[in-house]
Amino acid sequence: MGCYEELLAYPEIAAVYISVPNGLHGEWAIKSLQAGKHVLLEKPFTSNGLEARRVFEEAERCGKIVVEAFHRQFHPAAHVVKSLIASGKFGDIKRTFARTTIPKGTIPGSDIRWRCSLGGEVSTATFEEHNKDKRVDSALWADLLFDLQGGKTVDSKIYMDMNQPNLAVVIPRAWELPSIEIECEKATIYFYNHMMPHLFHYISIYDKVTKHTTYQKYYNYGPKCDPHWSTYRYQLETFVYKVRGREPKH
């Protein structure tokens, strides 16, 4: 196979994984769907909302599955956090804070993710420019306000840093690993290391009534799980189930 078009022309291929530069995600997702392929599309899904809508519309028109490869959401620990909130036992969400940091040097300066022409950038937040291309953000702080039914709101804060300084140059700041804090009316839920929970994570629940904190870990949650599976394995299992017309069992 000499090019992507030739690959898409093969009738034996039922699904494709797209990991081209960010700015090309939408284009190749649509081409793949039109070629009759199911699509596992690397994050970010597309460069903007309009393009994302076009991909979804094309998937619906073609009767094919398209899934964003946001691997961490498929891990059992992520399902547990979601179920805790959905249960309603802790009341409505009041605020959230999400932190995602990557130690300096993890992504080489030559990586295409630093190239603005291949992906675009965030423009509605406070940001820190990358030292080699001022059009690219290496860090950002954002405040969002979501309106809920009944006049309630949720205040959400986001902090992302892809160039996090290390201690003494070489030691990552482990206490700043990716985390999500969700404050509800009756409890505060904290999910530590949401990015790679298969390596290590914990979920803490602080009960505002009893003032007691419990800690939980979930590597095996659901009827079809394996504590040795990575987030990527769970993601692939989910995609295969959807392609085969079945609901995932995990």
CATH, residue 124: 3.30.360.10
Look up residue 141 and give its two tokens: 């702080």
Q: Helices 25-34 and 49-62 meet at what angle, rounded to 10? A: 10
Look up residue 175 and give its two tokens: 């206490």
H-helix segments, the chain: 4-9, 25-34, 49-62, 76-86, 231-243
Question: What is the distance between the alpha carbons of residues 19 and 191, in angstroms, rounded to a whole number?
Answer: 28
Examine residue 20 and state whether it is found in any structural domain, yes or no: yes
- Give 248's pLDDT tier (boundaries 50, 70, 90): confident
| Same domain for 178 and 150 | yes
- Give 125's pLDDT tier (boundaries 50, 70, 90): very low
Predicted pLDDT of residue 178: 86
Question: What is the distance between the alpha carbons of residues 43 and 57, in angstroms, rounded to a whole number?
Answer: 18
| Same domain for 147 and 121 | yes
| Same domain for 128 and 53 | no
Domain extent at residue 9: 4-69
| Same domain for 181 and 86 | yes
| Same domain for 156 and 99 | yes
Lowest-pLDDT range of 59-68, 72-81, 105-114: 105-114
Q: What is the mean predicted confidence (pLDDT) over 147-175?
A: 71
| Same domain for 29 and 152 | no
Percent of the chain with pLDDT over 90: 50
| Same domain for 198 and 132 | yes
Examine residue 248 and state whether it is found in any structural domain, yes or no: no
Examine residue 62 and state whether it is found in any structural domain, yes or no: yes
Tell me the pTM.
0.77
- Give 127's pLDDT tier (boundaries 50, 70, 90): very low
| Same domain for 37 and 128 | no
| Same domain for 21 and 102 | no
Examine residue 225 and state whether it is found in any structural domain, yes or no: no
What is the count of structural domains for the chain?
2
| Same domain for 10 and 104 | no
Predicted pLDDT of residue 27: 93
Examine residue 210 and state whether it is found in any structural domain, yes or no: yes
Question: Virtual CA dihedral for 11, 13, 19, 21, nearest 10 degrees?
Answer: -10
Examine residue 168 and state whether it is found in any structural domain, yes or no: yes
| Same domain for 61 and 104 | no
| Same domain for 162 and 109 | yes
% helix / strand / coil in the chain, to the nearest 5?
30, 30, 40
Question: What is the distance between the alpha carbons of residues 56 and 29, in angstroms, rounded to a whole number?
Answer: 10
Examine residue 42 and state whether it is found in any structural domain, yes or no: yes
Examine residue 236 and state whether it is found in any structural domain, yes or no: no
> Which has more pLDDT, 20 or 248?
20
Domain with residue 13: its CATH number is 3.40.50.720
Lowest-pLDDT range of 159-163, 191-195, 205-209: 159-163
- Using only the alpha carbons of the chain, give its radius of gyration: 20
Question: What is the distance between the alpha carbons of residues 230 and 210, in angstroms, rounded to a whole number?
Answer: 35
Q: What is the mean predicted confidence (pLDDT) over 230-238?
A: 92
